[in-house]
Chain A
Amino acid sequence: MTTGTLDLAYLESLRRFTDERLGVEETFLTPELGGGMTIAVLTRPLGDARATGWVICHSYAFEQGNIQPMETLLARRLASAGYPVLRFHGQGYGDSELPVEDTGLASHLRDARDAVEVLRDVASVSHVALAGPRLGGAVAAAVGADVGATGLILWEPVARGRPYIDGLLQQRILAELTAPGRKPSIDDPLAILRAEGVADLQGFTLTEKAYDEIRQLELLERARGSVADALVVQFARTERPRPDLVGLIEVLGERGGRVTLASIPPPPNERPLGAPRFRGNGDGTKTDTQVNLERELLSRTMAWVDAWSTGKGDA
């Protein structure tokens, strides 16, 4: 048996790649965020980079993994348009060092602030913009207000934490009731959470601390002071903002930021943003249930970015 000798030069050569077709270079970073090591990816344009860099803030619990492929595509499209982009695993997710028990709204905000500093260090940008889906959108808006971000991309941002986190708990009950072969459980997950301090959110550890932090989130207060131009995306059949987004749009525009609302009708027969992407067909194949959702989301987002880049600030 060989005990092995590590070829560090070979490993170093695999830390980055260049894709001429996409016009981007990607590099793995191992920064310290929130007091623990984690893995991040810096995507850079092959040509001249713009002075603004983007940080992508992922969403919460199982939504993080479900949405990640779209965040990767967004990073590469933004880099193709000239922007350096940093995406990362917050503590408790992916390849991060600290355990999931430490994860909550506070850790998401802390890690995103640290990621902004990492981007400033490694990409030498003079302006920072933030993007995020769902709870990641709320984090992007809140941190963006703190750090003076110049741009925001918010995909279905969570404006109020209570309905969001209670909705995730309800999804657990629905999953229990609809899973094949499972006996329906009428256990109240909130009661379990209060009694035991931890609830099993379809395999994700939801702590009471995280639940309370997210439940108390009122994004209007957190985002006040934002000066960024913002794209707010909602999945709706109407061009009017959802009731919970009306106040957010007003707050984001208070200091002169130009806010664009993009309404995308939910594609028929597709799962919503944040839901598991692939559906088993029972014959060894799986169907991607978010093909049109992803295409529309990226198309509308990049249309706004193109307009914003040329100074119009409105798609």
Chain B
Amino acid sequence: MSEYPIFVPAADGEHLAAVLNVPESPRGLALLLQGLGPPRSHRYQLWTRAARALADRGIASVRLDYPEIGDSTGKLEATLDDPPVDAALAVADAALRATGLTAFAALGNCMGGRIALKIQGRAGDCRGIGVILTGDPVKYLARKGFPKARGGVRHALVRKLRRVRGKAGGGIRWIPEVPKTLATSELLVLYAGPESTGAFLERSLSALASRTTGARTVYRYLPARPTNRFELDLPVQQRVVETLVDWLDVLMPARATERPDAAKGVGAVP
């Protein structure tokens, strides 16, 4: 395995610091995207550890500092709804060019998860998108605000009742990137948090997948304290790395000529 630190040119003369990990005979590239705040290695080397574990399975990876973070230059004025997608794409393109690979997957947590969903289909031959969620998953995957009133008070009451029962469109008003991803790539949702919230998320994903032709979803649940940040717990950190590596290992098979079906479907981490 070799590591290459690089400065990728970006808009307005800025430069994005990134590290590309390449095993001997790579079979695909994973883009690792943290939330707003931590540098490219993520907190406590989480991405560094994931990158090396991926390299052991023959998968290359690249991780980056967003503008103004770590060793990158520039200014970052990002929000969850307007994350630095162009920066991630510039680094993904540079890594694909440098490695000559086409098979591609992106995964991230918090703002990084939103970026991963937004770059689906815009880099390489996108095999899958992975999203790591903690705390309140609705915050990351649902549209803001309320649906437009339709059909008056009676319909509004029915909708509210269905939502309470968890039957209103699967329970979550998904941002458009989620169904779009489901229709074209495999979607991994890894949730670390309370079991009841995880069960709600799993039901909602299943409902959405059942309405999407050819949808391939993989849901993984990690029991965790109801914290908002998964990286604050050592055992959860380790399980996250193992789960991501196992998922990508199946997603990017060494010899397969066709795309694999979803690894084990919706379910909990064994």
Residues 88-118 (chain B) with a chain A CB within 8 angstroms = 94, 97-103
Asked if A69 contacts B234 (CB within 8 A), the reply is: no
A294 to chain B, nearest CB (A): 11
Inter-subunit contact A11/B4 (CB<8 Å): yes
User: Which of B7-15, B150-158, B208-216, B242-250 forms contacts with chain A?
Assistant: B7-15
Min CB distance, B88 to chain A, in Å?
Answer: 16
Cα of A284 to Cα of B22 in the assembled complex, Å: 34
With known contacts A2-B102, A200-B233, A284–B81 Cβ distance under 8 A:
yes
User: What is the minimal beta-carbon distance from B241 to any residue of chain A, in angstroms?
Assistant: 13
CB of B257 within 8 A of CB of A1, answer yes
A2 to B97, CA, bound (A): 12
Q: Report the minimum CB–CB distance from B75 to chain A (whole Å).
A: 11
B60 within 8 A of A: yes
Choose among A3, A39, A175, A277 the residue that contacts B232 (Cβ–Cβ < 8 A).
A175
* CB of B119 within 8 Å of the partner chain: no
Segment touching A, from B63-71, B184-192, B262-270? B63-71
CB neighbours of B256 from chain A (8 A): 1
Would A180 and B7 be within 8 Å (CB), given that A6-B99, A7-B100, A19-B15 are in contact?
no
**B20 at interface, CB cutoff 8 A:** yes
* Complex Cα gap A203–B34 (Å): 15
Distance A85 CA – B234 CA, assembled complex (angstroms): 34
User: A26: which of B4, B71, B100 is its contact (CB, 8 Å)?
Assistant: B71
Known contacts A62-B43, A93-B45, A284-B80; is A3 also within 8 Å of B26 by CB?
yes
Quick one: which of B48-89 are within 8 Å of A by CB? 48, 60, 68-71, 73, 79-81
Task: Using known A-B contacts A3-B25, A5-B100, A182-B227, determine if residue A95 contacts B6 with beta carbons closer than 8 Å.
Answer: no
Of chain B, the residue at the smallest CB distance from A40 is: B5
What is the CA–CA distance of A19 and B71 in the complex, to the nearest angstrom?
Answer: 13
Residue total for B at the interface (Cβ-Cβ under 8 A): 61
The reply to whether B70 and A19 form a contact with Cβ atoms under 8 Å apart is no
- B5–A30 contact, CB under 8 A? yes
Determine if A205 is an interface residue (Cβ-Cβ < 8 Å): yes
**A242 contacts partner chain B, Cβ-Cβ < 8 Å:** no
CB distance from B91 to the nearest CB of A (A): 10
A203 x B232 contact (CB < 8 A): yes
**Measured between alpha carbons, how far is A181 from B227 in the docked complex, in Å?**
7
**Chain A, interface size: which category?**
35 or more
Query: Are B43 and A65 within 8 A (Cβ)?
Result: yes
CB-CB under 8 A from B101, the residues of chain A are 2-4
Name the distance in Å between B116's Cβ and chain A's nearest Cβ: 16
> Is A100 a contact of B100 with CB atoms below 8 Å?
no
Residues on A with C-beta less than 8 A from B144 are: 284
Chain B residues within 8 Å of A284, by CB: 79-81, 139, 144
Say yes or no for B3: interface residue by CB 8 A criterion: yes
A17 touches B226 (CB 8 A): no
Over the window 156-198 of chain B, the binary record of Cβ atoms lying under 8 Å from chain A Cβ atoms (1 yes, 0 no) is 0000000000000000000000000000000000000010000
Known contacts A6-B99, A175-B232, A284-B79: does B226 contact A180 (CB below 8 Å)?
yes
- Say yes or no for A255: interface residue by CB 8 A criterion: no
Name A76-104 residues within 8 Å CB distance of B: 89, 92-96, 100
- Taking CB atoms, residues of chain A closer than 8 Å to B13 are 19, 21
Chain A contacts for B4, CB-based, 8 A = 11, 14
Contact in complex: A181, B226 (CB < 8 Å)? yes
Question: Given A11-B4, A11-B20, is A68 in contact with B70 using a C-beta cutoff of 8 Å?
Answer: yes
A260 at the interface (CB under 8 A from B): no
A87 to B184, alpha carbons, bound, how many Å?
A: 43
Query: Contacts A4-B60, A94-B41, A180-B228 given: A14-B8 contact, CB under 8 Å?
Result: yes
Query: Would you call A10 and B102 a contact (CB within 8 A)?
Result: no
Residues on A lying within 8 angstroms of B by beta carbon are 1-7, 10-11, 14-17, 19, 21-22, 26, 28, 30, 37, 39, 41, 62, 65, 68-69, 72, 89, 92-96, 100, 175, 179-182, 200, 202-205, 276-278, 280, 284-286
Give 9 A-B contacts (CB < 8 Å), ordered by A residue.
A1-B256, A2-B100, A2-B101, A28-B6, A62-B44, A93-B45, A175-B232, A205-B234, A284-B79
